[in-house]
Chains A and B, each alone.
Chain A
Amino acid sequence: MTISHFNAVLLFALLTSVVFGITQRAEPKMMVRFGAFCFVLFVLGTIAASWLMWLIKH
């Protein structure tokens, strides 16, 4: 199995966010919200870090 870096990021973010959502909040509604927040933060953080590395290189 091979996978692109971005797909790996999406999978990692999704699976990790599910666990964070369930374990870090008590109410189901807040679990979904926190999980979605973590997912967005993981993906946007990776994209921001990627652009930062590109800017440092160029």
Chain B
Amino acid sequence: MMATEMANTAQVPAQRVGQSSSKALLVLIAGWLVPGAGHFLLGKWIRGLLLFASLVLMFSIGLALKGEISSPSTGQLLDILNFAGDLGNGLMYLVARVFSLGASSVLTVSADYGTKFIVVAGLLNVIAAVDAHSLATGRKAS
């Protein structure tokens, strides 16, 4: 009887941990796919909106400056690093690849700025998604 009660009380926190970790994972993936979506899921509307506006604007400026959307197929180390950064943009990267937005190669100084804007937007989006994950797990207070 007592052992059964102990088992039940031990299962309840385990279930909560399981639920919270799956929600945290959902928040992390949503935040990666759409900038600020992780914060939206947690009810942090203003933070989510600011992150969304900042990162989408940064990515859009990069495209407007004719920045390069990298692909991993070139085999050059810098292109692979750029590709890793670009992947952080989530769905924005996918849309840019599908609709062939951005330049295939950097031809002007402005285009070089644009490429950096796109890569940094991806890296910042990863930071934002991890921040949302930290909020979901309670590692970050508020």
Contact = CB atoms under 8 A, between A and B. Distances in A.
A22 B58 CA distance: 16
A23 B128 contact: yes
Interface of B: 47, 50-51, 54-55, 57-58, 61, 64-66, 109-110, 113, 116-117, 120, 124, 127-128, 130-131, 140-142
A19 interface: yes
A1 B51 contact: no
Given A19-B51, A22-B51, A26-B140, A1 B64 contact: yes
Contacts of B130: 23
B65 A22 contact: no
A47 interface: no
Contact of B54 (A2, A5, A15): A15
Contacts of B109: 5
B83 to A, nearest CB: 21
**Interface of chain A, helix or strand or loop or mixed?**
helix
14 contacts: A1-B65, A2-B65, A3-B61, A3-B65, A8-B110, A12-B58, A15-B54, A19-B51, A19-B55, A23-B127, A23-B131, A26-B140, A26-B141, A27-B142
A40 interface: no
B50 to A, nearest CB: 6
B65 A15 contact: no
Contacts of B140: 26
A18 B54 contact: yes
Contacts of B57: 15
Given A1-B64, A3-B65, A16 B47 contact: no
A52 interface: no
